[in-house]
Chains A and B, each alone.
Chain A
């Protein structure tokens, strides 16, 4: 496995400690970063996040992190967005008013429109089905359970960017992938062995 350092981006939202714990458990060296300079120098980036889309983007823009993340991604730095972090990869989001996203995965972030009998947020372990082969899901069995907690989901413009799907009343995108940019709507750091395998795969991705 690669020994490069993983930089977890701190922009004021999300439980960074769990992501750090998960990465350490798979043998990665981890650093929490909060400046554009650190993002630019990183070997590997994780954008975690729990919270609302517009607040997340505001924090990323105000700190200059959004530009640094986009440039790093375009240079080929492996990037994994988790939960809100995946949603922020999209072109725009509807949460808290229409807000422009990082635009690394063309698409829009919409609120779940499901039957009233299904409770929002979608919370708990749910089965995830890869839509294409990918290094991120290596050694992760088809239909593995991952932990979700979210009310919004990503709708991709280009079906080729869809990496895995799950279902909650309606099918939705559980993971996305374009070149060196990955996103998971679920929390791998909260998804037991399968989640750790996925983090390990991301750390090994070249």
Chain B
């Protein structure tokens, strides 16, 4: 049986990991900090997939991001997706050479359709994730944003999903900017609407603050994965407990045995 996934998203700004709330960023630390304070190397053995995004507001330094990605991927043995500021085929090749298995595209989905079609043709649909960021108005209408959430498009979430599916992407990564970093729960109404028209795997993101939020979103039939960028979800044994909670609520996740190989030669 194919399992659902819990994805951890690492946000990087100017070489540092950051926390995000409604797309406002707060600096957290470098890779050493991530490894020391969050025991990332061991946490990494409890997640199904990792997404690493360069969300730098200033001009992005692709080489520095790629080098960070290389360092992260050295001790991560699960699928890794990376993105942020992809504007040409070379940007994608650099990420794939640096340890990424898939790439996440956002702004180019709406500003350079030709590029996205070319990426799908060249690297395969399974390699291209369409990231759709949205805000929900009090009326319930959704508005899709690009450029790190700075620029409003004239599309709603369903319109954006139809658009990216026409481009042939392999997966959709849907993030509620309204819920992002609040820990108040995912926007299950919009996610369910999106799931009803999505013909490829859907990753739901934005607002997961408790194990129950993750479990509830994963229960939606059209949701393949839930992503959280909230490091605090994962302190101590929280991640193992989150997986147990989801499993007990009836959603099946992959199980891995405890890993002992890195302890040294046997």
Contact = CB atoms under 8 A, between A and B. Distances in A.
Nearest to A193: B259
Contact of A25 (B2, B99, B257, B261): B261
Q: Which label, helix, strand, loop or mixed, suits the secondary structure of the B interface? A: loop
A164 B64 CA distance: 41
Contacts of B97: 17
Nearest to B96: A15
Contact-residue size bin, chain A (C-beta under 8 Å from the other chain): 35 or more
Interface residues of B, number: 38
Contacts of A195: 77
A124 B45 contact: no
A127 B179 CA distance: 34
A123, A149, A194 pick with most chain B CB within 10 angstroms: A123
Given A25-B77, A168-B2, A192 B200 contact: no
Given A18-B99, A125-B5, A125-B254, A191 B126 contact: no
A123 B257 contact: no
Interface string B222-247: 00100000000000000000000000
Contacts of A149: 79, 126
A189 interface: yes
Contact of A190 (B78, B98, B265): B78
Contacts of A168: 2
Nearest to B70: A17
7 contacts: A21-B73, A121-B125, A123-B171, A145-B254, A193-B261, A194-B256, A195-B77
Interface of A: 1, 15, 17-18, 21-22, 25-27, 50-51, 119, 121-127, 141, 144-145, 147, 149, 167-168, 187, 189-197, 200
Interface of B: 1-5, 45, 48, 70, 73-75, 77-79, 96-99, 101, 124-126, 170-171, 199-201, 224, 254-259, 261-262, 265-266
